[in-house]
Amino acid sequence: AERATVAAWTGPATTADGVHVKLLANVADVPTAESAAQAPVEGVGLFRTELSFLNRADEPSVEEQAGIYAGVLAAFGAGRHVVARTLDAGSDKPIAFATHKGEENPALGVRGLRLSFDNPGLLDRQLDAIAAAAASSGIETWVMAPMVATVAEAAAFARKVRDRGLRPGVMIEVPSAALQAARMLAVVDFLSIGTNDLTQYTMAADRMATDLAHLTDAWQPAVLQLIALTADAGVTARKPVGICGEAAADPLLACVLVGLGITSLSMAPAAVRPVGAQLGRVTMADCRRAAEAALAALDPEAARAAARAALAR
């Protein structure tokens, strides 16, 4: 019976007492966007633009980039919005034309938004391409930067995005950014927590290392605390704070995240129905109780058990 409820779930997502939670898709390119557009989502919460360029030796022209971005936007049509992330090159996503070579510690190196400080034209050209795609498609387009560590970086990025008539945001993937969330929100319109990297950097544990899976777990109390801090900043500033890492795809954790004040969850399309159906079974008060219980737990297993018990009450 539960499987039938999940398969039949159509969205938009609300808790049992009618609180709206935006469910969004993570996409990589035109084919994944076209397939994600069939899922019951309100748009795209993470368009990983770099994944189209993984095997490119040279930077694609503004026109070519604009064509790819317009294809992704067109898959979604009017009424839904798309959050495009600027190039997240480096470390686990090496891009030939944008990645520094010979770094000893690529995960702590010149990656993500940091690349645009020694190659500002790269970011400018990508923003021109995104703005052109947004204008030609008429789709509401937000733009966010990956791997932001300081408010100054966020402010410099936001200026460039606003100059092009688009809404700027930053990803919260580095503990310093989570700790500064309120100040980040003074310069951008929204935040999106990338729990994969936020967990990696909070726990000092490589996200690709399978033998560190007990540490690379978003249920770790330190990670939950940083998410709570970021969500609180959003509630206070009345600005959206979403999640776009793997954590958003865990139905139990989704309830905790909503209870913490997170306003949107972006995930692989296959996770949308299970998460949407689960949110429909609980009230906002249940989610808040689950969040409080999870935050009070001393380890991931205890946090899961406490959240489950809080929702079963």
* Interacting residues toward Mg ion by CB under 5 A: 173, 194, 197
Helix (H, G, I), strand (E, B) or coil at 167: strand
Show the beta-strand stretches assigned E in the chain. 22-27, 43-48, 81-85, 141-145, 167-172, 190-193, 241-243, 264-267
**C-beta of 195 vs 230, nearer to ligand PEP:** 195
CB 145 within 8 A of CB 173: no
Please report where in the chains the tokens 């990338």 appear, as a residue.
194
**C-beta of 189 vs 246, nearer to ligand PEP:** 246
Residue type at position 35: S
Question: CB under 5 to 8 A by kind: which of ligand PEP, Mg ion, none does 153 bind?
Answer: none
Contact string (CB under 6 A) for ligand PEP, positions 104-143, x = contact = ----------------------------------------
**C-beta of 59 vs 197, nearer to ligand PEP:** 197
Q: Using CA atoms, how far apart are residues 147 and 310, in angstroms rounded to an integer?
A: 34
Cα–Cα distances in Å, from 38 out to 43, 126, 141, 142? 11, 27, 19, 21
Query: Considering only residues 38-67, where is the footprint of ligand PEP by CB under 6 A?
Result: 46, 48
Question: CB under 5 to 8 A by kind: which of Mg ion, ligand PEP, none does 114 bind?
Answer: none
**C-beta of 175 vs 245, nearer to ligand PEP:** 245
190-193 and 141-145 as β-strands: parallel, antiparallel, unpaired?
unpaired
Query: Considering only residues 189-208, where is the footprint of ligand PEP by CB under 6 A?
Result: 194-197
Instruction: Provide, rounded to whole angstroms, the least separation between the CB of residue 196 and ligand PEP.
Output: 3
**C-beta of 83 vs 295, nearer to ligand PEP:** 83
Region of 24 (left: φ > 0; alpha: ψ -120 to 50; beta: rest) is beta
Binding site for ligand PEP (CB under 6 A): 46, 48, 88, 173, 194-197, 244-245
